[in-house]
Amino acid sequence: MNSPAKTLVADQSVEVSVKKRPVDPRPIFLAMQGGGAKGVAHVGALKAIEKFHYDIRGVSGTSAGSMVAALVSVGYKADEMVNIETREHLFTRSAEGLGFHQPIDIFPGTFWRKLKICRRIGAFFGYGHKPVPACPEPELSDADSLKRDRQKLDANKAERKKLEDLLIAASAKRCASRRAPPVTPLGKFMSVAAKAINTVLVTFGLSVRLSANLTWFFIYYCIPFGLVTFAVGAAIKNGPVITALIVSAVIVNGYLLVRQLLRWGWRFVGGLNTVGNVSLLIDRALTQKLAERGYVKEGGGITFGDLKRARERKVPVDTIPLKIVATNVAYECLELFCEDRTPDVKIGDAVAASVCLPFVFEPWNLTFYRHTETKTELIEGQFLDGGLVSNLPAWPFDEERVLSPSIGTIALSLESDVKIGKHWTSAVLGTVVNGSSMIHTRAAGSTLKIPLTPSMNMMQFDASAEDVWDVVSKTASAVEFRLAEELDTRAALQAAAKAMHGLFHSFVMDGVAEWFELVRNPRVRVAIVAERGGSMNSLSTVFTHGYKPSDVDRAVTRAASSWIFEKALRTNKPQIHFLDTRLPGDDVYKKEHIWAKARWIACFPMILPNPQSEMSGRRIRRFMLVVDSNMPFDESNPLIEDFKDLFVSHASVEVLQYFEKHDLLDSVQGDNTWI
């Protein structure tokens, strides 16, 4: 988290050196970004989060992230969604009764054929997904290798048999519902023409298959249109009557052609398929899980209000507050589905609305009452993918974070590899969907953003089971490594604040009656302040020792140009400020949130050794140790001025030695987003 390398590459294995990870039962909010088929990486991230025993107080999601967030809200664990060891998944648990055995079963009809054509066209123009080279597998013994190959072969045979059964059943159903058209000479001609055109396209390197219907369109619309147009020129020489007839034919054929193109274009704009089965799947999974935990709702239809009612029962069911983002087409605004605003909306419908990617899926229609801070209004209309307005919703829990500032947020983002030189048109949709994540993670309180780059395409819903296991496994390892790094760094800096407090407390108390005046309830406080998150001109108090919850500056952020920090940062030398002549009511105290009882403040800037060689190409993030106390220096001592200089210089050496010894100088040169 705090190292220069920020992105977690889920398609690369990460070795976790610590055998036993410490648990971290702190409360957190969890936000999950949308990303189509790449959303399966959220399951791996959730698996890592569960290992640290974080107490999830709220979960939010958009698009694919909303599907995982909905399951988490009712108590699903990562292994219940995708179990790497047993090779089971949600479809084997909750979807069998619906006839879904794998993700592609959710979208019936010709969706996959249409989607593959779109993906091939995109690949032809250079916008398609390029597979990431697989990581080298560890060397295995001959016996282990043979065992692994047999397992893969058995798994492939089982999957192929299941797919064949589904295809046979689908084919039989289609044949029973409609009679095959009679084979005519014209039909034979169309089939031969289609094969001929396909042969020509393959010869020129175009991997597109034309059906007989599409060939019919070219023969009956495009070719006559071209021939008639060519004949117009010749007809002009033969008289106005023939010319008028040919022009009329051109107009009629042109009208038919445009109408057919508009009809096809409208179908594409309206979406290739519906997300109705997504709503059914999510509702089925939520109903089953809540029933297992004691909250039974006949007929299903779990709503956001049901989550709240389950928690408030006499025998409560521990559900998690859920918030889902979608795009409201009619009102042209963001729609936030949650317990307070939309208690009567089915969670399955909210998820379906949030996953409606334009052009790929048809907009989802909803009618409900929205409860806002000022009124209740009836909302009806169409909804699209929430990624168009907020793809990484870390902000919906701002109010909860204000009430509980100590609760941090883990935001799981799905990102793509950087490709230099790609055409701007191919980056527009990705920028619209992902470009606002920096804004939407600037939420109240501390937010840890964990970027993931799974080796899957956003539209790769038909990924093999092995690809899914691989993404989940490697993402879990990567996120576990990142969280362990965050936990270790935070613990080390907190220990540093405690050690520095002991050092300065000894300095001050040993000098009482000679260098310091003893006061009632003597206190020495130590704080580590640093540039946090995206800040470049401010320093935040991040780790403290000796502070009380009532102290006004316990979690304060001050400008780097503040008179407290300015000289120490400019000169890279420790500075001490004496406050014994100021009054607690002065504006200086109020503006900078100074502890009213402080009589001096010492600032010790942390200086990196050889910063140019170690931080080449990176900006050095500023941080320092700030110490204050309510025990003033004894000005009656004639040697007090010499002692002040000695105190600052000696303390500075001790501070730098401690941070260098424990390798902490580089620990604040990353994101600094501790939670």
Q: Which two tokens stand for residue 482?
A: 């990142």
pLDDT in tens, 309-368: 999 998 899 999 999 999 999 899 999 999 999 999 999 999 999 998 887 788 899 999
Note if 354 is an active site residue.
no
Q: Of 60, 63, 390, 477, which is the active-site residue?
A: 63
Higher pLDDT, 226 or 482: 482
Phi–psi pair at 601, nearest 5 degrees = -130, 125
pLDDT of residue 371: 95
Residue with tokens 């560890």: 138
Cβ–Cβ < 8 Å for 127, 133 = no
Q: Tell me if the pTM is above 0.75.
A: no
Q: Which two tokens stand for residue 74?
A: 């009712």
Which of helix, strand or coil describes residue 622?
coil
Query: Quick one: which of 366, 437, 471 has its CA closest to 37?
Result: 471
Mean pLDDT of all residues in the chain?
77
Phi–psi pair at 484, nearest 5 degrees = -65, -40
Q: Which two tokens stand for residue 671?
A: 């994101």
Cβ–Cβ < 8 Å for 662, 496 = yes
DSSP string, 215-265: HHHIIIIIHHHHHHHHHHHHHHTT-HHHHHHHHHHHHHHHHHHHHHHHHHH
Cβ–Cβ < 8 Å for 448, 1 = yes
Which of helix, strand or coil describes residue 545?
strand
Residue 440 forms beta bridges with which residues?
A: none
pLDDT of residue 528 exceeding 90: yes
Q: Of 11, 24, 306, 385, which is the active-site residue?
A: 385
State what percent of residues in the chain have pLDDT above 70: 63
Report the C-alpha dihedral over residues 62, 63, 65, 71, rounded to 10 degrees. 100
pLDDT of residue 533: 77
d(CA 591, CA 224): 81
Residue 76 — very low, low, confident or very high, per pLDDT cuts 50/70/90?
very high
Strand segments (E) across 560-599 = 575-578
Could you tell me the domains of the chain?
26-108+273-463 (3.40.1090.10), 192-270 (no CATH), 490-668 (3.30.450.40)
Q: Which residues have C-beta within 8 Å of that of residue 94, sequence separation ≥ 6?
A: 281, 284, 285, 288
Note if 385 is an active site residue.
yes
d(CA 476, CA 43): 8
pLDDT of residue 209 exceeding 50: no
CA angle 229–230–234, rounded 5-degree value = 115
pLDDT of residue 180 exceeding 80: no
